[in-house]
Structure 1
Amino acid sequence: MTAPFQPYSMHVGVQEARDMLATLLPAPGAETIPLAAARGRMLAADLQARVSHPSATESALDGVAAREVDTVNASATSPVRLRVVGESRAGVPFSGAVGPGECVRIYTGAPLPAGVDAICPVEQLTDEGPDHVLLARPASPADVRHEGGDFRAGETILTAGTLLTPPRVALAAALGHAEVPVRRRLRVALLSTGDEVIEPGHPLGPGQVYDSNRYGLQAMLEECGCDVLALGHAPDSPEALQEAIAQAGGADVLLTSGGVSMGRYDFMRDLLIERGRVAFWKVRMRPGGPALLGGWQGLPVFGLPGNPVSSLVVFHVIVRPVLTGQPVGTLRLRAGTPFRGLPDKTAFWRGVLRGGEVWDYGKQGSGVLRSLSEANALVVVPEGGAVQVGEDVEVILL
């Protein structure tokens, strides 16, 4: 047995835990992928617009394009009569010019012909024979989309570090990019531990629980855009843990659940302290205090508590922002109920948004896994603080 790595930090703060995890992960590499595969990936470089959008001045709706000055007196009781000289539709623009007293039929997205500057919607039009139309209201310049009104060619629109959500994928396409540079996916090995943990679908024996951590954490890792190397489950023994960890070759980091608290059978903690290395053990937060960061033969290891609520909260608050490179998104809301503070820990109480306020979910026990499904926020109460009804409080949306 090798000597334990010393010293290691005890009772680190939440931000300190994030920073220490980030230093152990490899620097994010980059790769270029087809835009169709980019949802959920992180941009590795800025994207500039290759074209302007709109690429031409165009109509925002169906109707007629006319000169505003010719239609200013139009009303339902005194409509203005214009001569129709053609039409413009997307992909087939009107090639001529429009003169006084004239208009062209136009459709959404179609370029405006020369000589016009306003649109009258089709709902305000009445045909008068094949070549004339009556306008029941003035044509409006507000219904014209000007060339480059959204963005112009050469303009930086999406910046490095941006998460490519579906609307941003659509935006990248509009910028003219068929491929995009993205950060390489982190490869995360996932291992759950514990003699009491069994696979869902099997009958439970006395004292046994289903392996909710394995499935919840895998779903969260995939949501973060990680490649997951599922190592399954290992019982509580140093030999079984070492055998499971040996299967994590090629991973950037190993994420475990269970075996890191202060019990006699918390072998993951003992294994890293005695034979690996430990950067910190325990975080000043609730739920989720007994988290551990260390390494095993060059592989970074982050040990989550075995309690499902603690495990998922620690992942959301500490691990997720490091894996994604995105800070935890917070906002401030009015407290509809009081939230107690803790003298030496940051509290992350489950809350429910209601009427523009955040309310205590009620059941804050670490064993209430149902709460993370029914609550939609974590209320952040700093160390030594407390929140009274009516005060503003920091909230993390779930």
Structure 2
Amino acid sequence: MLMNMKQNLSVEEALEMVLQEARPRQTIEHLPLAASYGAVLGEDLISKVHHPSADDTSVDGYACLEADTRSASLGNPVRLRVIGQSPAGKPFSGRIGRGEAVQVFTGAPIPPGADAVIRVEDTLREGEFVWLMKPASATDIRRKGDDLVEGQTYLRKGDLLTPGRVGLAAAMGYATLPVVKRPRVGILSTGDEVVEPGEALPYGGVYNSNSYSLAGLVVEAGGEPVILPKISDSVEGLRTQLQRAGQLDLLLTSGGVSMGEYDIVRRMLEREGEIHFWKVRMQPGGPLLFATWNGLPLLGLPGNPVSAMVTFLLFGRPLLFKLLGRTDPPLSRRRAIADTPFEANPTRRAYRRAVLRWTEEGYRVATTGNQSSAVLRSMAVGNALVVLEAGVSAQPGEIVEVIPFPGTT
């Protein structure tokens, strides 16, 4: 259906339309801690325990009464009688009185009666006694609940489960975590010329790189990629493949969305779907299409490898973040000093592949070279996109806006 289709949108207008159609997932599954890295938390989590669960020591040493040790010095050491040990996991069961000490090890609870700790390096052990060369203090005692308080919320719905957050959840007492089920993303490459890697390459053929680069981007963004078998350039073949795809949350197609006679994705959607927009004022990736087909959101990415990856980063990644309910921004931005010239497009915003690096002067960025959208190696050696507004080139020494590739800088 073309009735409501918009054309030649700005990047911001197109992204707004994509996100308006994205419906956050409601399906929650519980995963073991070790399987939850990179998932998105589906519910707020409160701590089930205090951490530490009791006042404990952050150093190896001796627990005692601070008042017994105030006069201790190298020239006037104080002697205390050692009445036991308190290793981590095996707390001392008695109570410390005047003139007494208990040997404690990092993480061990402070014995009842004690209010201070002396570090082992400031002591000298002599049989059942210990000499203190300086006063003991409470500074090395970690108080109960200093890190976590039982009943308080420390992880929020929409948080990405990084190793630190998974470790925090474990410390809070959780063996499994409620996470948003990963969206299933169908990936479909079109074109009679597309051949699977490993097969013999015919004259005029090209290996299917798009499906695999897009699958990696989907995984990195938190989705589950479903690489669909290649179809030929026919509307019937495309329709059959979509019907066989099963339950999907998003469909990515590469190729078939431009103006040519064989651009079958666009032609089928004109008949059977709803095209929300076609073409965005950007380079690379201008012939981007966004539609729905039987209620399924569909991003029709250009066929050129670089265009497909760049448009996924700018539109597909934010869409997946919204489906997952993630609270962190899908892309970060930096300011960097240009080390090389970057040429603008006269009428469209340009995204130039580049290498971003950190120096003592701050971030610096240089071009990867050839900016043709067919040069896939630029996405392998590069780690960022330099953003240039229409008609505004950048010269060496100028400050430019940069979007780092996720997970690189």
Q: Scaled by the length of structure 1, what TM-score is found?
A: 0.88
Structure 1 residue 93 and structure 2 residue 91: aligned? yes
Task: Give the C-alpha shift of residue 159 in structure 1.
Answer: 1.0
**Mean Cα displacement is larger for which, 231-240 or 15-24?**
15-24
Task: Give the C-alpha shift of residue 92 in structure 1.
Answer: 1.8
Report 1:75-154 matches (<5 A): 80-129=78-127, 131-136=128-133, 138-154=135-151
The whole-number CA distance in structure 2 between the counterparts of 1:200 and 1:76 is 75
Does the CA contact (< 8 Å) of 2:384 and 2:402 recur in 1? no
The whole-number CA distance in structure 2 between the counterparts of 1:301 and 1:206 is 31
Report 1:357-396 matches (<5 A): 357-363=363-369, 364-383=371-390, 385-387=392-394, 389=397, 391=399, 393-396=401-404
Does the CA contact (< 8 Å) of 1:387 and 1:393 recur in 2? no
- Number of the residue aligned with 1:251: 248
Task: Give the C-alpha shift of residue 31 in structure 1.
Answer: 1.9
- Number of the residue aligned with 2:40: 42
Structure 1: state its 5+ residue gaps: none
The whole-number CA distance in structure 1 between the counterparts of 2:139 and 2:378 is 49
Aligned residue identity for 1:116: A
- Number of the residue aligned with 1:310: 307
**Mean Cα displacement is larger for which, 339-348 or 159-168?**
339-348
**Mean Cα displacement is larger for which, 7-16 or 73-82?**
73-82
Task: Give the C-alpha shift of residue 384 in structure 1.
Answer: 5.4
SS at match of 1:329: coil
- Number of the residue aligned with 1:261: 258
Structure 2: state its 5+ residue gaps: none
The whole-number CA distance in structure 2 between the counterparts of 1:25 and 1:261 is 24
SS at match of 1:41: coil
**Mean Cα displacement is larger for which, 369-378 or 158-167?**
369-378
Structure 1 residue 208 and structure 2 residue 214: aligned? no
Aligned residue identity for 2:189: S
The whole-number CA distance in structure 2 between the counterparts of 1:387 and 1:117 is 64
Does the CA contact (< 8 Å) of 1:35 and 1:173 recur in 2? no
| Shift in alpha-carbon separation, 1:235–1:139, aligned structure 2, 3 A | farther
The whole-number CA distance in structure 1 between the counterparts of 2:335 and 2:181 is 36
Report 1:188-227 matches (<5 A): 188-227=185-224
| Shift in alpha-carbon separation, 1:304–1:55, aligned structure 2, 3 A | same
Task: Give the C-alpha shift of residue 55 in structure 1.
Answer: 1.4
Aligned residue identity for 2:130: V
The whole-number CA distance in structure 2 between the counterparts of 1:319 and 1:287 is 15
The whole-number CA distance in structure 2 between the counterparts of 1:201 and 1:289 is 31
The whole-number CA distance in structure 1 between the counterparts of 2:17 and 2:311 is 14
Equivalences, count: 394
**Mean Cα displacement is larger for which, 137-146 or 250-259?**
137-146
Does the CA contact (< 8 Å) of 1:84 and 1:103 recur in 2? yes
Task: Give the C-alpha shift of residue 264 in structure 1.
Answer: 3.4
| Shift in alpha-carbon separation, 1:345–1:64, aligned structure 2, 3 A | farther
Task: Give the C-alpha shift of residue 94 in structure 1.
Answer: 1.7
**Mean Cα displacement is larger for which, 285-294 or 235-244?**
235-244
| Shift in alpha-carbon separation, 1:373–1:60, aligned structure 2, 3 A | farther
Q: Residue 358 of structure 2: which of 332, 340, 354 is its match?
A: 354
Does the CA contact (< 8 Å) of 2:117 and 2:141 recur in 1? yes
Aligned residue identity for 1:374: V
The whole-number CA distance in structure 2 between the counterparts of 1:7 and 1:164 is 39
Structure 1 residue 300 and structure 2 residue 284: aligned? no
| Shift in alpha-carbon separation, 1:146–1:347, aligned structure 2, 3 A | farther
Task: Give the C-alpha shift of residue 293 in structure 1.
Answer: 0.6
- State the identity as a percent: 44
What root-mean-square deviation, in Å, do the aligned CA atoms of Structure 1 and Structure 2 show? 2.6
Aligned residue identity for 1:215: Y
| Shift in alpha-carbon separation, 1:96–1:31, aligned structure 2, 3 A | same
- Number of the residue aligned with 2:336: 334
Q: Scaled by the length of structure 2, what TM-score is found?
A: 0.86
| Shift in alpha-carbon separation, 1:19–1:128, aligned structure 2, 3 A | same
Does the CA contact (< 8 Å) of 2:384 and 2:405 recur in 1? yes
The whole-number CA distance in structure 1 between the counterparts of 2:21 and 2:39 is 21
**Mean Cα displacement is larger for which, 22-31 or 213-222?**
22-31
| Shift in alpha-carbon separation, 1:101–1:190, aligned structure 2, 3 A | same
| Shift in alpha-carbon separation, 1:157–1:385, aligned structure 2, 3 A | farther
Task: Give the C-alpha shift of residue 231 in structure 1.
Answer: 1.4
- Number of the residue aligned with 1:182: 179
Aligned residue identity for 1:53: H
- Number of the residue aligned with 2:61: 63
**CA deviation string 1:329-381 (max 9, x = no partner):** 31433324254444543333223213131312332332222222222222333
**CA deviation string 1:233-269 (max 9, x = no partner):** 1122222222222212322221111111233322212
Q: Residue 165 of structure 1: which of 140, 162, 165 is its match?
A: 162
The whole-number CA distance in structure 1 between the counterparts of 2:204 and 2:89 is 69
**CA deviation string 1:107-153 (max 9, x = no partner):** 12111123334433434443212x12234555453332221111211
